[in-house]
Amino acid sequence: MHTETQLVQIGKNRGRITGAVSCPVYHSTAYEHPALGESTGFDYTRTANPTRQVVEQAIAELEGGEAGFACSSGMAAIQTIMGLFSKGDHLIVSLDLYGGTYRLFEEVLTRYGITFSYVDLRDLEAIEEAATPYTCGIFVESPTNPLMRVTDIRAVCERARDRGWLSIIDNTFMTPYLQRPLELGADIVIHSATKYLGGHNDVLAGLIVTKGKDLSEKVFALHNSIGAVLGPQDCWLLMRGIKTLALRMEKHQENAMALTQFLLTHPAVEEVFYPTLHSEERRIQEEQAGGYGGMLSFRVKDPVFVPEILRSLRLISFAESLGGVESLVTYPATQTHAEIPEEIRRKVGVCDKLLRLSVGIEHMDDLIGDLSQAFDRAQASIEGEGVKRDELRNSSLTQRK
């Protein structure tokens, strides 16, 4: 079956008694036992819920894994996975990383004695240099957030496997429609399903997919023990979002490519970041993924443009998230990446001239039109300020005379 078909059919015929086409929402937290020692397969909703199970099986199939787990957020999914590690363990992590993940690692998990090294994973030798006798896991984002750097997932996972490390991929930006890390050798995939999988900026959710029976059993126990599970109503919202993933991803990508071209030629823009723009990274991306996605970043020539552009945009919202049908612009330095110390941020390239766009599914001409008018207004306002400053200086000179 093609992925598009698989996506649309999620949850159908689950209401076998009624023939419901849309999956029923089971709010029940408790499930009656037929007899002593017997179960319908459902006992208590934290352990298993019929609506949640549909979305969990769907993501496991889409990613090609053994089991899926729905969590209350992307961060809850990451925290649940981190339960696999113990005091003294060390992990190697993508240098250019979602700020909330960095905060969880550095502000919470280091207190439990787990340590992390942040490495540019495009450099395979750097992985060897960062490894210690206590390393037992590697956590990868590709393409990275916000600089869209592409990691060779297959090569990184192969190294991890050779050394007996667990490889974990945050597949939020690509989704299983474009990239399936388990097929490239990863052990675990996590998602902030709040983003493309949900797709409508209206549900907070996280997903985990595991490879193999042993690992799946361990994560099942952690999911149930920690309890950061997704509620049934949110499971249904997420399921509804996932059904249109294929159509949305195609449109997000088409628009992102058009905006990339527009930004590359605009005089106010210094640099654009999109996986097609660096030849080696493009080659890797094309080998491991079915496309480039709907996220892009760009650096403007002067930081004074930033507040003016953000003030002038009318269609594109200045808001902190990504992956929804509505286009959003983010200023990583003070929003998504504020938790990362300035020194590291600068080293990575998340500077005060960088803006990130989550390109929605609006008509591309309207998106280009909005950016274009915002750049023009920013330019005019900055020139206006300059004139005002000159006028002020001249008038004070006149007064002094």
- Residue 194 in the binding site for ligand PLP (CB under 6 A): yes
Q: Which is nearer to ligand PLP, 100 or 369 (CB)?
A: 100
Q: Which is nearer to ligand PLP, 98 or 236 (CB)?
A: 98
Q: Which is nearer to ligand PLP, 75 or 359 (CB)?
A: 75
Among 49, 79, 151, 172, binds ligand PLP (CB under 6 A): 172
- Residue 195 in the binding site for ligand PLP (CB under 6 A): yes
Enter the tokens of residue 114. Answer: 């787990």
Say which residues have a Cβ less than 8 Å from residue 81's Cβ, sequence separation at least 6.
Answer: 168, 188, 190, 208, 219, 222
Catalytic hit among 122, 149, 159, 195: 195
Shortest Å distance, C-beta 76 to ligand PLP: 7
Active site residue 366: no
Active site residue 170: yes
Active site residue 12: no
Burial class (CB in 10 A: 0-12, 13-18, 19+), 120: middle
Asked if the bond preceding 146 is cis, omega within 30° of 0, the reply is yes
Burial class (CB in 10 A: 0-12, 13-18, 19+), 379: middle
Burial 198-235 (b: 16+ CB within 10 A, else e): bbebebbbbbbbbbeeebbeebbebbeeeebbbbbebb
Part of the chain binding ligand PLP (CB under 6 A), chosen from 2-10, 96-104, 211-219, 250-258: 96-104
- Residue 95 in the binding site for ligand PLP (CB under 6 A): no
Active site residue 401: no
Catalytic hit among 26, 98, 274, 292: 98
Rg, the chain, Cα only? 23
Catalytic hit among 12, 14, 31, 46: 46
Asked if the bond preceding 143 is cis, omega within 30° of 0, the reply is yes
- Residue 73 in the binding site for ligand PLP (CB under 6 A): yes
Part of the chain binding ligand PLP (CB under 6 A), chosen from 190-198, 214-222, 275-283, 338-346: 190-198
Using an 8 Å Cβ cutoff, are 329 and 263 in contact? no
Catalytic hit among 89, 96, 152, 170: 170
CA distance 315 to 321: 16
Q: Which residue has the tokens 């552009």?
A: 309
- Residue 96 in the binding site for ligand PLP (CB under 6 A): no
- Residue 145 in the binding site for ligand PLP (CB under 6 A): yes
Q: Please report, as ranges, the residues that interact with ligand PLP according to CB under 6 A.
A: 73-75, 98, 100-101, 141, 145, 170, 172, 192, 194-195, 204, 206
Q: Which of the residues are catalytic?
A: 46, 98, 170, 195
